[in-house]
Structure 1
Amino acid sequence: MLRLNPVYQKDLRTTARSLRTYIIIFAFNSLLSLFGLFALYFTFEYQQSLGNSVQYSAILEIYSVITGVEFFLLLLVVPAVTAGAISGEKERQTLEILLTTKMSPGSIIRGKLLASISTMLLLAFSSLPVIALVFSIGGITLRDLGGFLLLILETAVYLGSIGIFFSALLKKSTSATVAVYGIVLLLCLGTFGAVFGIHFLTQIHLNHLVTDGTTPMQADIGNWMLLLLGNPIATYLSVLKGQTGTGRSLAEIYGKYGNLSAVWNDNWFLISMILQIVIAVLLLFWSAALLNPLKKQPSVS
């Protein structure tokens, strides 16, 4: 039989017996159900009470609302779950015991990450009945659902590796949690802000160049748009646009701020997923190096 990672096995048992896990699952699905039922009511009952016909695109918007809420909750939960993975062991003074076992630092890191991913997959699969509301109406296929679950898994690995890294780098769980949320905020909003800022400065420069009274050209920041490849929200919007035709905000950013080649536009999800997985792997190797007692570096408090 396949031997489970001991750290993963131990954390999985602890998670399964923890009341906190059931509270998270209940709160997660309660919020998701609330938004899903509200979207259903607004799409059908409310629109019909106003005498408006229900459009087919409105059904797809229900899927967009439900998956959007679930993805947003994922961004909130993953840092909280992973930030204390290693720093918690430091605070309990059990990390040294783990390092004296036959397990390598890499195995410890993998076990912690797998335990965190398992929690996210548990949340994702527990939310399937809510997402199934859309299947009862039609418009979304199993392939679309599989693509969304793949996005959830990839994002959990990406954000989880960031949480594990700061948990290995810092001594306190509080410090690690603040650092992880700061990085996630920088990735999700900071990259959009950078794109907008670069476009704004480029547009000002073009406006100053126009001196003959003609209409100024629209600035094109081109490859600076690739900063969004590391943005989980941009990746989610690309998946949503491919499945439902919504996610217009990302398409508007492409058209208004920068023109990319068809290769980037057509394969944005695949390219961004590969890039984020590469970053995750590098962070996990770095985290293992931080735990290596033979290459011990002082932890930052």
Structure 2
Amino acid sequence: MFHTNPVYKKELKISVRTIKTAMIILAYNMILAVIGLFVFYASFDYKSTIAGVVNYHNMMNLYEILSVIEFALILFIVPAITSGAISGERERQTLDILLTTKLTPLQIIRGKLASSISLILLIVVSSLPILSIVFSIGGIRIIDLIQLMMCIVVTAIFVGSIGLFFSVLFRRTTVSTVFTYGTVIFLVLGTIGILTGVYLIINVRIDTNVVEDAAHRIAPNLGNMILMLLVNPAITLLSLFSNQFKNKEFLSDFLNNYGQCNRVVTEHWFGISVTIQLLISIILIIMSARLLDPLKRGNTKRGNSRRSKTKRKKNNQY
């Protein structure tokens, strides 16, 4: 368990004792509060409120805006926390000492990831009073807020595992941070960009082939390429909104822009997407532990040296 992991205990104690954590929480909640209060004020017309007319759709918009802002801040904060978890130990020359302990590389990776997720949970819980603005008038249920928190935690684990993988793969924190942010940007914007580019290319080819029969023109259909968006955290949040507001056509309309998508996948998009992201996170954690294991790296180096020696012997015989 995480509470018995020494790395988790150490990282958690260090993080809560530094001014950096307090400043992150303060800046996070200030940004969320200022934007939330501004949107709350702008969403309601003073005259209609005096007349006793309340538009609950405005509260839905406020919930969506606050959720998107919080989601975007999490995507921005998590890579900064996790991308230097292992590479920072290398730069401080403490990684070799950590590897000489009785802890396995998997326990070290789990402890680093758990401490980062705990900090994210602290940030998310601290923002609950701001998100509770949406309950002042109604329209949003407690279960909706719990589902949003679950979506944010899963995204934090997904992005955090990516940051840890690059932190193990590269020796410098700067390089691992750049690759982590680049991967997150690719997942959020790059997947949509690829689908849009392929769609436009197919659309141009169809237009050049069509001569006169414009009435029977076939729209481009990307088929299974649309499933690429299952690893896109932003589309996962969009599917959550579709489920919460009982408007599943909202997600399907977006996906149908790129062609026909399987209806079963569309209806269960949130669950499928969360499951895939968690599986990718587990794979990245296991790969990070294998890369961090000095014994396996040593065996690989010894295997390479043995193969090179065998080749030299054969060459000498000839």
Same fold (TM over 0.5): yes
| 2:252–2:266 CA contact under 8 A, matched in 1 | no
Greater shift in the superposed pair: 243-252 or 171-180: 243-252
Match of 1:81 in 2: 81
Instruction: Give secondary structure in 1 for the equivalent of 2:43.
Output: helix
Match of 1:33 in 2: 33
Identity %: 42
Q: How far off its partner does 1:251 sit? A: 4.0
Q: Distance in 1 between matches of 2:135 and 2:49?
A: 24
Partner residue in 1 for 2:311: none
Contact 2:2 2:8 in 1 (8 A): no
CA distance in 1 between counterparts of 2:8 and 2:202 reads: 49
Residues 60 and 140 in structure 1, CA contact (< 8 A), matched pair in contact too: yes
1:248–1:54: structure 2 CA closer, same or farther, 3 Å change rule? farther
- 1:92 and 1:246, CA in 2 relative to 1: closer, same or farther beyond 3 A? farther
Provide, for residues 195-254 of structure 1, a one-character-per-residue CA deviation record: whole Å limited to 9, x for no partner: 111111121222223222423322121211101011111111111122136798744321
Question: Do the aligned partners of residues 47 and 252 (structure 1) sit closer, same or farther apart at CA in structure 2, a change above 3 Å counting?
Answer: farther
Going from structure 1 to structure 2, the CA distance change for 1:228 and 1:2 (only over 3 Å counts) comes to closer
The answer to whether the 8 Å contact 1:5/1:111 transfers is: yes
Cα separation, 2, equivalents of 1:83 and 1:17 = 20
Q: Which moved more, 1:52-61 or 1:281-290?
A: 52-61
- Tell me the TM-score normalized by structure 2: 0.88
- Aligned equivalent of 2:287: 286
Over 3 Å counting, the alpha-carbon distance change for 1:248 and 1:63 in structure 2 is farther
Map 1:1-301 → 2, pairs under 5 A: 4-45=4-45, 48=48, 54-215=54-215, 216-244=217-245, 250-296=251-297
Runs of 4+ in 1 over 6 A off after TM superposition: 49-52, 246-249
TM-score by length of 1: 0.93
Instruction: Answer with 1 or 2: which has the greater Rg.
Output: 2
Paired letter, 1:118: S
Report the CA distance between 1:154 and its aligned residue. Answer: 0.5
Distance (whole Å) between structure 2 residues aligned to residue 213 and residue 286 of structure 1: 53
Question: Root-mean-square deviation (CA), in Å?
Answer: 2.2
Q: Secondary structure at the match of 1:259?
A: coil
- Deviation string, structure 1 residues 157-187 (Cα, Å, up to 9, x no partner): 1000000000001111111111100110111
- C-alpha distance in 2 between matches for 1:36 and 1:64: 10
The Cα of 1:261 is off from its aligned counterpart by 1.8
Q: 2:248, 2:267 within 8 Å by CA — same for their partners in 1? A: no
Instruction: State how far apart, in whole Å, the 2-side matches of 1:183 and 1:13 are.
Output: 29
C-alpha distance in 1 between matches for 2:131 and 2:267: 26
Question: Following the alignment from structure 2 to structure 1, what is the Cα–Cα distance between the partners of residues 53 and 199?
Answer: 40
Give unpaired runs (5+ residues) of structure 1.
Answer: none
Q: Is the 8 A contact 2:2 2:111 kept in 1?
A: no
Measure the CA separation in 2 of the matches of 1:246 and 1:227.
22
Q: Report the CA distance shift for 1:34/1:244 in structure 2 as closer, same or farther (over 3 A).
A: farther
Counterpart contact for 2:2–2:114, Cα < 8 Å? no
Amino acid across the alignment from 1:285: I
For residues 33 and 79 of structure 2, the distance between their equivalents in structure 1, rounded to whole angstroms, comes to 23
